[in-house]
């Protein structure tokens, strides 16, 4: 809770907040499809540049651009998975699968892990697994190799590794029974779909390299490895800054978590001086998205402004800077759930206890 929030009136029930945004939430299929066409054209242009550029470094630069476009396509698919992208539910499901292919994201598993778990239990320990912090006691009980891995994840330099290992590999691509006890045929089919796309993607790059007398290694590096790693870094970073902040609290008790209005208090609105917010399809207007997943991404900016005007002092708004980001990464290592404060790896308080918590 932010300083001084104990003097503010209580946050209205989520149902009332959604009623405020009802005039904003209606999806537009035409607008959605225009975004789909635009981003697939950008994706095709990036892949064409990767194939035709002969200079290895320019090829890799095009690969990084391709990774960013994959992130944009994923954000569109994320909206389709929330049934907020177009007006047609069945179309959203198939469109979401198509949009998720370049990021190799199985639609049905993302739907469960994100829509049900992350949105249903945001920042509730033991339920929400995305960037879930360890307590000092949990950290000390980990084997040495795992403590080292936690240090790498929380260094600020490895959001790509965190998402690649802990989310995509462990929970998205054919997860184990420990990670996903529920077994559904659609999970396997979606896993096979993205695996087939990935194999086809690499095979096409190998063919293109041979057809144009280029290095297969450089072609795969620029056309597959770099785009996929950049995309993982992009989503790992975005989710981190959305839910890790000195004013954001984690909970272990479901009752206190519910009383804290977690759909408002557990998210951060990151702002940029540049057009980065628009380039990321306004996914950084994250409070509005968590209050109502039905708000289309092309209306999130307006919905976020409405919430911030009516909930003054309640929503965490953070102007992005690399200085702030790395200061947060240095401080937010572990979480003392009893005191509701972030601590360092040695158990030393790294951030002040949020006022009123």
Q: Which of 318, 321, 333 lies closest to 155 in space, CA to CA? A: 333
Q: What CA–CA distance (Å, rounded) separates 118 from 163?
A: 14
In angstroms and rounded to an integer, the radius of gyration of the C-alpha atoms of the chain is: 21
Tokens in use for 116?
């049900």
The number of beta carbons lying within 10 Å of the beta carbon of residue 87 is 15
Give CA–CA dist 326/82, Å, rounded.
31
Burial of 109-146, coded b for 16+ CB within 10 Å and e otherwise, reads bbbbbbeebbeebbbbbebbbbbebbbbeebeeeeeee
Question: Length of the chain, please?
Answer: 357
* Residue 316: φ, ψ to 5°: -75, 115
Token readout for 84 is 């907020």
| Distance separating alpha carbons of residues 308 and 269, to the nearest angstrom | 10
- The whole-number pLDDT of residue 330 equals 92
Q: What is the pLDDT of residue 15?
A: 82
- In 154-209 the beta strands, taken as DSSP E runs, fall at none
CA–CA separation, 343 and 334 (whole Å): 5
- Which residues are 269's β-sheet partners? 317
Joined tokens for residue 218: 């450089």
CA distance 225 to 63: 8
pLDDT tens digits in sequence order for the chain, 357 residues long: 444 455 666 777 878 888 888 888 889 999 999 999 999 999 999 999 999 999 988 999 999 999 999 999 999 999 999 999 999 999 999 999 999 999 999 999 999 999 998 988 899 999 988 999 999 999 999 999 999 999 999 999 999 999 999 999 999 988 888 888 888 999 999 999 999 999 999 999 999 999 999 999 999 999 999 999 999 999 999 999 998 988 888 999 888 888 777 777 788 999 998 888 899 999 999 888 988 888 999 999 999 999 888 888 788 889 999 999 999 999 999 999 988 889 888 764 444 444 333
The candidate with the shortest Cα–Cα distance to 173, out of 149, 151, 152, 199, is 199
Which two tokens mark 239? Answer: 């989710």
Q: How far apart are the first and last CA of the chain?
A: 6
Question: Token digits for 245?
Answer: 């902040």
Asked whether the beta carbons of 162 and 153 are under 8 A apart, the reply is yes
Asked whether the beta carbons of 349 and 341 are under 8 A apart, the reply is yes
| Phi, psi dihedrals of residue 253, rounded to the nearest 5° | -100, 125
* 71 within 8 A of 284, measured Cβ to Cβ: no
The candidate with the shortest Cα–Cα distance to 280, out of 53, 61, 73, 77, is 73
The phi and psi torsions of 79 (rounded to 5 degrees) equal -65, -40
Token couple for 185: 């045929």
Q: What is the DSSP string of 7-76?
A: GSPPPPPHHHHHHHHGGG----HHHHHHHHHHHHHHHHHHHHHHHH--SHHHHHHHHHHHHHHHHHHHHH
- Residue holding tokens 């290992």? 165
Cβ neighbors of 322 (< 8 A, separation 6 or more) are: none
Q: Where are the domains of the chain?
A: 5-343
């Amino acid at each position: 809770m932010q300083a001084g929030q104990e003097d503010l009136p209580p946050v209205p029930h989520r149902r009332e907040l959604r009623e405020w945004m009802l005039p904003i939430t209606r999806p537009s299929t035409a607008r959605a499809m225009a975004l789909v066409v635009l981003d697939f054209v950008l994706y095709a242009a990036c892949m064409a540049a990767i194939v035709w550029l002969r200079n290895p470094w320019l090829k890799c630069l095009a690969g990084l651009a391709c990774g960013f476009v994959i992130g944009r396509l994923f954000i569109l698919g994320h909206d389709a998975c929330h049934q907020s992208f177009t007006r047609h539910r069945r179309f959203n499901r198939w469109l979401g699968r198509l949009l998720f292919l370049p990021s190799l994201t199985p639609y049905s598993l993302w739907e469960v892990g994100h829509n049900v778990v992350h949105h249903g239990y945001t920042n509730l320990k033991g339920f929400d697994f995305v960037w879930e912090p360890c307590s000092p006691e949990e950290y000390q009980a980990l084997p040495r190799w795992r403590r080292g891995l936690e240090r790498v994840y929380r260094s600020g330099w490895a959001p790509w590794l965190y998402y690649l290992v802990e989310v995509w590999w462990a929970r998205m691509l054919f997860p184990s029974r420990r990670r996903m006890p529920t077994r559904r045929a659609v999970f396997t089919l979606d896993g096979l779909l993205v695996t087939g796309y990935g194999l086809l993607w690499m095979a096409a790059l190998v063919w293109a390299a041979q057809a144009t007398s280029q290095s297969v290694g450089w072609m795969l590096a620029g056309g597959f490895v770099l785009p996929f790693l950049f995309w993982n870094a992009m989503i790992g970073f975005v989710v981190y800054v959305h839910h890790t902040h000195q004013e954001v609290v984690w909970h272990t008790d479901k009752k206190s978590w519910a009383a804290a209005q977690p759909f408002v208090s557990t998210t951060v609105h990151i702002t940029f001086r540049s057009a980065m917010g628009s380039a990321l399809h306004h996914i950084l207007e994250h409070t509005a998205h968590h209050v109502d997943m039905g708000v289309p991404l092309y209306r999130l900016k307006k919905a976020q402004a409405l919430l911030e005007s009516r909930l003054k002092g309640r929503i965490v708004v953070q102007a992005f800077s690399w200085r702030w980001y790395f200061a947060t990464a240095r401080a937010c290592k572990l979480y003392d759930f009893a005191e509701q404060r972030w601590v360092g790896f040695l158990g030393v308080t790294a951030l002040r206890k949020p006022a009123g918590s």
